[in-house]
């Protein structure tokens, strides 16, 4: 399976790991939302890679990109509510930005 060897998949797994760590400092409702959004990046990218039609593939990649935006927004909310310091969320935000850029170019 070719998606296993992509940089997108590797970074998405890093986001899932980082999100799980950050979730420990969040209230349950935000922690669960963060974990789901991070997992959604990985899962939608993998599922999109398994689709034959370009249109179908792009739909899953678009969903993965939306989930990366959601992870970024949750990290921002956590900083704004002073649940975590900005430095803790910065790496996660950078990884999500990187994923979005890569998804935009991935074919």
Domain definitions of the chain by residue range:
2-105
Q: Round to the nearest angstrom and report the end-to-end CA distance of the chain.
A: 15
pLDDT of 2 reads 87
Phi, psi dihedral angles at 69 (to 5 degrees): -65, -40
pLDDT of 107 reads 62
pLDDT of 22 reads 96
Collapse the DSSP code of 30 into the 3-class scheme (helix H, G, I; strand E, B; otherwise coil) and give the result.
helix
Q: Where are the alpha helices (DSSP H) in 50-85?
A: 54-80
Q: Which two tokens stand for residue 71?
A: 């992870």
Q: For the chain (length 107 residues), average pLDDT per consecutive 10?
A: 91 97 96 98 96 93 97 97 94 96 85
pTM over 0.85: yes
pLDDT of 6 reads 94
Domain 2-105 in this protein, CATH class:
mainly alpha
């Amino acid at each position: 399976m070719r998606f296993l060897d992509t940089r997108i998949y590797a970074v998405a797994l890093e986001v899932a790991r980082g999100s799980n760590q950050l979730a420990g400092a969040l209230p349950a409702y935000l922690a669960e939302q963060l974990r789901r959004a991070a997992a959604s990046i990985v899962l939608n990218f993998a599922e999109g890679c398994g689709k034959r039609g370009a249109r179908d593939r792009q739909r899953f990649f678009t969903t993965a990109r939306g989930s990366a935006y959601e992870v970024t927004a949750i990290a921002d909310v956590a900083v704004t509510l002073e649940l975590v310091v900005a430095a803790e969320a910065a790496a996660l935000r950078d990884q999500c930005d990187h994923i979005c850029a890569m998804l935009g170019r991935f074919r």
